[in-house]
Each structure stands twice: as structure tokens, then as C-alpha cells.
């Protein structure tokens, strides 16, 4: 019985640890994606959460930027919109990323988004997917 109480006493700590690394975003509001490219530069781009950039030249779907999962309809655990997933989506779009965690430009952003993808919805980041028409992004990332 004491071990069960000990386990239950850890649940709030586990929940706080999980959600502390997850920052929820609101569809339709602006957010700034940040990543480190293969040259070691920090790149930033401010865009709209849930924006639809269509496909990039590598064929990736960017119809719901910030959603943890592929596009608006790809495999996902709910429809979580988070900062790490937004950063990964924007990095992937502009850098034509492929290879997930091994991509030289966006691999770190991919890894940072894993916990968001798994726990984003249960952390309160679940949103309704927008139905936006395809529109090219305004501008390009700034890397320095």
C-alpha cells in the first residue's frame, strides 16, 4: 500500500515535468519559430499558427503549421499545436527537411517536438484544425 501511495504522490511531479516543456499555441495567432541550421546559425521566422503553405519542394505537407503531426490530416495524437511543433514545421518547410531526427538542419527541432507530439493534447494544446487556403509565407527566415 505504501508503494502505491508513493506512485500516486509522483503523478503531479510527472505531469508538471511533462507540461513544463510544452508550450501551447493558439491557431490564428503569430508565433516565432527558432532552430539551429547545419551551419550552426540560429534561424528565426515569425508566422501564423495553423497557416497553410501547401507543399515545399521536397513534397512535405505544410497545411497546418504548428500541428504536431503531418499537415492537417496526418497521423497524430489529437490536434496539438505547440511551439516546438511550429518550429519544426517552419524549419522543415524552408530547409526542405527529410530524415526526421537525422536531418542536418531540422533534426534538433524534430527531437524537441517529440514530447509535444506525444503529450501535447493531454497537456491542453488540442485545437480545432483550420481550413485555410494555400498561401506562400511572407518573407524568409533570418539566420545569424
Closest CA to 56 of 71, 41, 69: 71
- Average pLDDT of 23-38? 98
pTM of the model: 0.85
**93 and 58 Cβ atoms separated by less than 8 Å:** no
**27 and 66 Cβ atoms separated by less than 8 Å:** yes
**94 and 102 Cβ atoms separated by less than 8 Å:** no
What would the pLDDT profile of 67-87 be if each residue is shown by its tens digit?
Answer: 999 999 988 999 999 999 999
Which residues, including other chains, have CB under 8 Å from residue 102's CB and lie 6 or more apart?
A: none
Ranges of each domain in the chain: 23-136
Helix runs in the chain, H state only: 2-20, 83-95, 107-119
Amino acid at each position: 500500500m505504501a508503494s502505491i501511495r508513493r506512485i500516486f504522490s509522483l503523478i503531479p511531479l510527472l505531469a508538471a515535468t511533462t507540461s513544463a516543456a510544452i508550450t501551447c499555441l493558439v491557431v490564428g495567432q503569430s508565433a516565432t519559430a527558432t532552430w539551429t541550421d547545419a551551419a550552426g546559425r540560429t534561424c528565426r521566422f515569425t508566422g501564423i499558427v495553423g497557416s497553410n503553405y501547401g507543399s515545399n519542394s521536397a513534397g512535405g505537407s505544410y497545411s497546418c503549421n504548428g500541428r504536431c503531426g503531418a499537415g492537417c490530416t496526418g497521423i497524430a495524437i489529437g490536434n496539438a499545436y505547440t511551439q516546438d511543433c511550429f518550429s519544426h514545421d517552419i524549419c522543415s518547410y524552408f530547409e526542405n527537411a527529410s530524415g526526421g531526427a537525422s536531418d542536418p538542419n531540422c533534426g534538433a527541432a524534430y527531437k524537441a517536438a517529440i514530447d509535444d507530439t506525444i503529450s501535447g493534447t493531454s497537456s491542453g494544446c488540442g485545437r480545432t484544425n483550420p481550413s485555410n487556403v494555400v498561401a506562400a509565407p511572407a518573407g524568409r527566415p533570418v539566420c545569424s
